[in-house]
Structure 1
Amino acid sequence: MYEHITQSDLSELLKLQGQPYLSLYMPMARSFPDQEQNPVRYRNLLRKLRDQVENGSANADPALLEPFDALLHEDELWRSPRDGLAVIGGSDVFKVFSLHQPVDELVRVDQQPCLKPLMRISQSGGAYQVLCVTRDAVRLFQGDQNVLEEVELHPDVPRNLEQALGEELTAKDQSGNPHGFSRAADRTSGSARHEAGGGGKQDEIDIDRERYFRAIDKAIVEHHARSGLPLILAALPRNQAAYRAVSHHPTLLDEGIAQDPGLMDAAGLREEAATIITRRHNASLDSALERYGVAQGQKLASNDIGEIGEAVFAGRVSLLLVESGRDIPGTVDMQSGAVQLDGEPDGEMATGADVLDQLIPRAVQNGAEVVMLPQGLVPGSSGAAAVFRF
């Protein structure tokens, strides 16, 4: 019931529009005795959410609060350590997300869920999987910056080389690398191949490795790739490229942990994986800002929220940069994309309505990439910036 946010989850939530949705975010304490205050904080936020519903925000039906109320009696939710909680509810959805990063307190009733905090966490690369492969063991872990836990493998995933190949496995007493995986695979000369045991039996052992990797990859893709999380391969250096050469895993990263995972505990794996994920996230932010800078020189960029709104709805935006934690109170015309900020002379007050929450789903639907940036990195002061296609 309590899920980690994935790209697949976000894709489904971004489709939700046109009816009342309730959003609640809160930070949580992980340790006793502060942990005892988590349900108290939730109850206080729920009271604020109820006030918005009863005051007529987005014409929400009070019945939408019932599953939110029920969470107060979920002991597992309040006993489990986590850094934050996100609850999204509507007539057609109720999702509870366990967050590995803290979030600010927020309750909102609007015509679409508030998703900016979830997008920030998802894009920060916090959650990932680690696939550990040796001849004698296959293990899968899932975690984030704070914790890494082993995942129970589906029965179809081979646990080791012998199980994967059975009677087709080359006999151990044949010449070649005694571990079954040729060191000659990284050599190119004929003499090197001869030194490793010849081109015949050693080739058979190398083929064993390829079959083994194919069997692992096929089963992992079929049974453990649906989360959409980045996958980091932990394997000896000579096996990193060999595995990728046969892999069809959609989120397998180019960079892996090039060590023997059999000699690493969960803490060591988490430390290495977190470094890879953080480096990957920072590179993506740098790339997005560089794209904006280039487009600005070509007069194909803007940080004017009014211009961005109309461009989003016209399908002109290829990249939308959004300041994390920023709200822009106002409404967006769902036909033209015209932005009416709260407080303007002719504008209606839109209690709880946020311009960015309204623009992000349409931008994604029209093929734009949306990138959440830390405060101070978005060009200009509006809280958003965009690169235009034309």
Structure 2
Amino acid sequence: MHKHISQSALTDLLKWEGQTCLSLYMPMERSFPDREQNPVRYKNLLRQLSEQLGDDANAQTRQSLQQFEALLNDASLWNKPRGGLAVLASGNEFRVFVLQQSVPEQVRVDRQPYLQPLLRISQTDGHFQLLSLTRDKVRLFEGNQDSLEEVELHEAVPRNLEQALGTELTPKDQSGQPGGHSNAAEKAGGMTMHEAGGGGKQAEIDIDRERYFRAVDKSIIEHHSRSIPLILAALPRNQAAFRALSHNQQLLAEGVALDPALLDVATLRQHCDEIMTRRYNAWLDGLLERYGAAQGTGLTCQDLNEIGQGAVAGRVSLLLVESGRKVPGVVNSNTGAVDLYPAEEGSTDNGADVLDQLIPQALRNGAEVVVVSPGVMPTEAGVAAVFRF
């Protein structure tokens, strides 16, 4: 029942249109005794959700509310809380997302799910896998900026070099460095002796290492890799050797080039967080450069009405939305025309927010939508778009 945010999950939520959609977000306390308040907070938000429905509740939405209420009996949800919780329902659909990051309290009743928090987390939580690799031990972790947990390896994954090669392993009493490179090879720029046309015992040890790494790479791809980045933690010479033969499409070019046997989990997570932060910043810088480059072509826009019409027509290529910004109003789902509410009448408590309505419209028509912090937003309007034409 509990899901992780993925592109396929977000794509699925975009299909929820035309029926009443219920959205509930809440932060969760992880430590005892504060976590005992999580169900209480959830009950309060559930009451607010019911009040927003009011007289509009029909048989289907009442059934959805019963599913919300049933979560109070889900011991796995409350006994092992994460950073936040998102619960969404529409028609016969019901989704529960356990979030690594905290989210502000929010309940919405609208004709579409409230996606901005999920979209932002999917872009910034830095979910990754970490492969810790030494001669003596293979370990796999999964985590993000907040946590790193070891994954139980499939039985097909070799736990170390000896298990990978068995009786074919070069005996330990042969000369050569355990790490796989002789001093002469290191002076030659890391090229192994057999690559240089030489031979001998060191070359056999280098071959052992390559076969070991191939076995690890193949089994990790087959049994563990998913559509999230893979970071390699290994000594520099092993980083180069593993990358030279790896076929894992998720393996990042930057790794933790230290001996993982000497690092605790907290230190490993810190190094990985630094890598993922640099990766995210580079990605965001690229998007902002893309917007800046388009400004001289007449294909950028910050007018809500024009962006709304462009989103419905499929003209929007990139949509930047300011995190936490609310613009009271409605977007016509057929034309994209935006009707802003006067400030004294506007209230986003009922989900009538223009930016939240623009996001699914743009996504459904192939736009790249990015939720950015206020300090990064290139306009004062809370929204910016790059048009295709």
Give the aligned partner of residue 358 of structure 2. 359
Q: Which residue of 2 aligns with 1:286?
A: 285
Partner of 1:302: 301
Does structure 1 residue 40 correspond to structure 2 residue 40? yes
CA distance in 1, matches of 2:112, 2:230: 31
SS in 1 for 2:291: helix
The alignment partner of 1:55 has SS state of helix
- Kindly state the Cα deviation for residue 204 of structure 1 after the two structures are TM-superposed: 3.8
Q: Deviations over 1:105-157 (max 9, x none)?
A: 11112232211111112211343221111111111111222321111112222
Matched, 1:159 2:185: no
Question: 2: CA distance between counterparts of 1:321 and 1:113?
Answer: 19
Q: Which moved more, 1:53-62 or 1:308-317?
A: 53-62
Name 1:14's counterpart in structure 2.
14
Q: Does the aligned pair in 2 maintain the 1:4–1:99 contact within 8 Å?
A: yes
TM-score with structure 2 setting the length: 0.88
**Is 1:266 aligned with 2:262?**
no
- With over 3 angstroms needed to count, the CA separation of the structure-2 counterparts of 1:191 and 1:206, relative to structure 1, is closer
C-alpha contact 1:129 1:141 (8 A) present in aligned 2: yes
Task: Establish whether residue 93 from structure 1 lines up as the match of residue 93 from structure 2.
Answer: yes
- Local SS of the residue matching 1:172: coil
How far residue 170 of structure 1 moved from its aligned partner, in angstroms, is 3.5
Equivalent positions of 1:219-298 (< 5 A) are 219-226=219-226, 228-298=227-297
Relative to structure 1, the CA distance from residue 56 to residue 238 in structure 2 (aligned partners, 3 Å threshold; closer, same or farther) is same
Give a deviation string over 1:163-220, Cα, whole Å, max 9, x none. Answer: 22334434434444334456766665899838x9943544443333333223222222
CA gap 1:117/1:162 in 2 versus in 1, 3 angstroms: same
Q: CA RMSD in A?
A: 3.1
* Residue aligning to 2:23: 23
Does structure 2 retain, via aligned residues, the 8 Å contact 1:125–1:277?
A: no
**Other-structure match for 2:56:** 56
Matched residue, 1:114: 114
Deviation at 1:350, TM superposition (A): 10
> Counterpart in 2 of 1:130?
130
Amino acid at match of 1:151: V
Give the partner amino acid of 2:255. G
Task: Tell me the amino acid that sits aligned with residue 265 of structure 1.
Answer: D
Question: For 1:203-255, what per-residue CA distance to the aligned partner results, in whole angstroms no more than 9, with x for missing partners?
Answer: 443333333223222222222223x3322111111122332233333332221
Tell whether the 8 Å contact from 2:190 to 2:237 is kept in structure 1 after alignment: no
Contact 1:53 1:59 in 2 (8 A): no
- Report the Cα distance in structure 2 between the residues aligned to 1:149 and 1:313, rounded to whole angstroms: 42
- SS of the residue corresponding to residue 87 of structure 1 reads strand
Name the CA distance, whole Å, in 1 between partners of 2:283 and 2:356.
Answer: 22
Local SS of the residue matching 2:286: helix
Matched positions, count: 386
One-letter amino acid of the structure 1 residue matched with residue 162 of structure 2: E
Measure, in 1, the Cα distance between the counterparts of 2:20 and 2:224: 34
SS in 1 for 2:193: helix
Residue identity matched to 2:93: V
Gaps of 5+ in 2: none
Which SS does the other structure have where 1:193 is aligned?
coil
Instruction: Report the 3-state secondary structure (helix = DSSP H, G, I; strand = E; otherwise coil) of the residue aligned with 1:42.
Output: helix
In the alignment, is the contact (CA less than 8 A) between 1:342 and 1:350 conserved in 2?
no
Q: Percent identity?
A: 61
SS in 1 for 2:250: coil
CA contact (8 A) 1:292 1:387 kept: yes
Indicate if the aligned counterparts of 2:13 and 2:113 stay in contact, CA closer than 8 A.
Answer: yes
Structure 1 unaligned residues grouped into runs of 5+: none
| Structure 1 length-normalised TM | 0.88
